[in-house]
Amino acid sequence: MSVSDSASLPYAPKEMGRVSLSRTFILYTLGLFAVLGIVFIAILTKITWDASHARAIRVTEAFFQATKRPFERAIWTVNADATLQLIRGLESLEVVERVWVETPDTGNFGEPVEGIRRSEALSYTLNSPSAILHKDAIGQVFILIDRSTISREIVSTVGYIVAAIIVYLLLLAVVIRAVFRRLIGRPLSTIVGYLSTPRLIEAPPDAQLMPGRADEIGILASSLQSMVQRRHFDLQKIQEYQTNLEDLVAHRTEQLKLVQEELIQADNLAALGALVAGVSHELNTPLGNALMAATTIKDATDYLRTELDEQRLSKETLESEVQRITDTANIIEKTLGRARELVGNFRQVAVDRQSEKMRSFNFDHIVRETLATLQPTLKKTAFKVELDLDADEVIESYPGAVSQLVSNLVENAMKHAYEGRSEGVIKLCSKVRPFIANDGCDGNTKKIVFTCKDYGVGIPEKNLKKVFEPFFTTKFGKGGSGLGMAICYQLVTEALKGSISVSSKVGSGTEFVIELPVKVQLNNKSTTREMVH
């Protein structure tokens, strides 16, 4: 997929027309104006209704006041015809729906209305025209306003206003659409067309996208064109980099191999240096005891010589000093024997680690000799190494690789297995098993299964597959190089021609299982030299 594919539009041109920005803007604008128009019309209708109703009441009251005295005389003289004529005169008004008169003595005139409509009628009191009766009430006139007439008037008035608003909105929509398309729609369409240009990143157009525009749209177009140009230059650099990528990867891989070999060599030398320092410290005790015993013998011989020269030497003194010299000589013999054993182990391990030659050796003896050289380090800790060595098999292989393998496994367990704990046990086991066909031990009848097990914190599942990777360590920056298990893997698979596997459960410990052939088939000596150095 080319880079330009990323610039393709998610809509076809026809689909973009249906969801264009101008169309959406017009719909939102007209919708907002429509809502505001509805609110305006509702308020206007209410105001018009109240004004019309108040005007109808004023007209009705004015006309009633003009006919009030004739009503009072007609009711006082009990003139039904005159009263009905006055009622029809009021009902002839456009805003009056019905009029009736109620009197306490002569009954009702006209057709009264009952129910809720009665409460809506206007009520006026008629008084006696006689001065003698002090204008006592003789009846009451009810005038019901015609709401339908007011409603028709309001509908007519509001209808004209609504029609005017609709025409206004349509004209406004046309104007807004034209202005929007001129200022925003067409420039954005130009930008969209620019983005849909085939192979835009590989070959961007040189012409300026929107010359002469300095507003926000012009700034957007200029920024977009600059971004496309930068991506074009980046793409050219990426293509140039891809051209030389294989050579660069090969060169970096070669450099990485050299660095890895140097780090492995440095790790080996560091381990050997730590071994020398530990053995030197361990030798200090027996040699110091031997020196003290030699000084004791010298003192005893000087004392005997003095006693003999002065002829004061007695048999008891001679026997006592001879016994003292004998005991001291035994101490010297034991301490020098211990020193000789340490030196022998150190010499054997040191020679084996630097040797390329294959030789016959007892596998369990090499394990014990290696642990003897690690005793100075183990004594400084609370860790214990338990041995269950049951191989006792003389094999033909590389003892230096076996010794380094054991050292790395024990040191790795000490550093990582019991992190955060003050003590722990590391168990080493060896057994002889018959080889199985196709297990990599062709030409052998036996193989040695060597295990290193701890009961520590364990290894998380996500890290199990990375244990044997070079430079992988959870102690980065804290003294861990990440090469211990990588070296073990190379020693087992390349130098010793065996296999190594690991199993672990968080909180229950870790177990490394190594299977080695009794006799290593020497296929490539140069490869062995690289692994065992």
Question: CA 98 to CA 113: how far, in whole Å?
Answer: 8
pLDDT band at 443 (very low <50, low <70, confident <90, very high): low
For 144-198, write each residue's pLDDT tens digit. Answer: 888 787 788 788 878 888 888 888 878 888 888 888 778 777 777 777 777 778 8
Q: What is the mean pLDDT of residues 272-298?
A: 71
Looking at residue 19, what is its pLDDT? 56
Looking at residue 346, what is its pLDDT? 58
pLDDT at residue 18 above 60? no
pLDDT at residue 526 above 60? no
Q: What is the mean pLDDT of residues 315-321?
A: 81
Find, among 387, 449, 379, 455, the residue nearest to 417 by Cα: 455
- Top pLDDT among 476 and 251 is at 251
> What does each C-alpha distance from 176 to 29, 54, 107, 472 come to in angstroms?
9, 41, 69, 66
pLDDT band at 275 (very low <50, low <70, confident <90, very high): low
Cβ-Cβ contacts under 8 Å for 420 (sequence gap 6 or more): 457
Residue type, 222: S
pLDDT band at 500 (very low <50, low <70, confident <90, very high): very high
Residue showing tokens 């088939």: 521
In b/e form, how buried is each residue of 477-499, taking b as 16+ CB within 10 angstroms?
eeebbbbbbbbbbbbbebbbbbb
- DSSP-derived 3-state class of residue 380: coil
pLDDT at residue 382 above 90? no
Q: What is the mean pLDDT of residues 470-493?
A: 68
Looking at residue 278, what is its pLDDT? 58
Residue 46 class from Cβ within 10 Å (0-12 exposed, 13-18 middle, 19+ buried)?
Answer: exposed
Q: What is the mean pLDDT of residues 201-213?
A: 79
For 183-196, write each residue's pLDDT tens digit. Answer: 777 777 777 777 77
Q: Is the pTM of this model over 0.75?
A: no
pLDDT band at 452 (very low <50, low <70, confident <90, very high): very high
Question: CA 491 to CA 400: how far, in whole Å?
Answer: 10
Question: CA 355 to CA 262: how far, in whole Å?
Answer: 18
Looking at residue 440, what is its pLDDT? 47
pLDDT at residue 9 above 60? no
Average pLDDT, the chain: 77
272-279 LR contacts (CB < 8 Å, sep 24+): 272/350, 272/353, 274/377, 275/346, 275/349, 275/350, 275/373, 276/346, 276/350, 277/376, 278/373, 278/374, 278/375, 278/376, 278/377, 279/342, 279/343, 279/345, 279/346, 279/373, 279/376
pLDDT at residue 84 above 70? yes
Question: CA 142 to CA 199: how far, in whole Å?
Answer: 88
- Top pLDDT among 330 and 286 is at 330
Lowest mean per-residue pLDDT among 113-127, 239-253, 381-395, 474-488: 474-488
Looking at residue 453, what is its pLDDT? 92
pLDDT at residue 348 above 80? no
